[in-house]
Structure 1
């Protein structure tokens, strides 16, 4: 998730979205859907999608 945060900060939105999806696939197995870190990841993924839609 750290890599995705950096990619998002550097406005590499496509890369960030891909990395966030990979992280989500792992986090939902290791932490579950209700964990705060997984929820934060989903929020970041939605932010990234919104920014991509605006671009």
Structure 2
């Protein structure tokens, strides 16, 4: 786009298509609206502890 290789209209159409694909994916996702931060934090702590443990467990 910067050097004119891609016309602006084409870039806008691509952006609109990406937006629609994201909206469609959002409607069909099994993921919750908000992350379970406590669960994620617990997972990360366990992973970090495993990584620094001499036995790796």
Q: Which has the larger radius of gyration?
A: 2
TM-score w.r.t. the length of structure 1 is 0.41
TM-score w.r.t. the length of structure 2 is 0.39
Structure number with higher relative contact order (C-alpha < 8 Å, ≥ 6 residues apart): 1
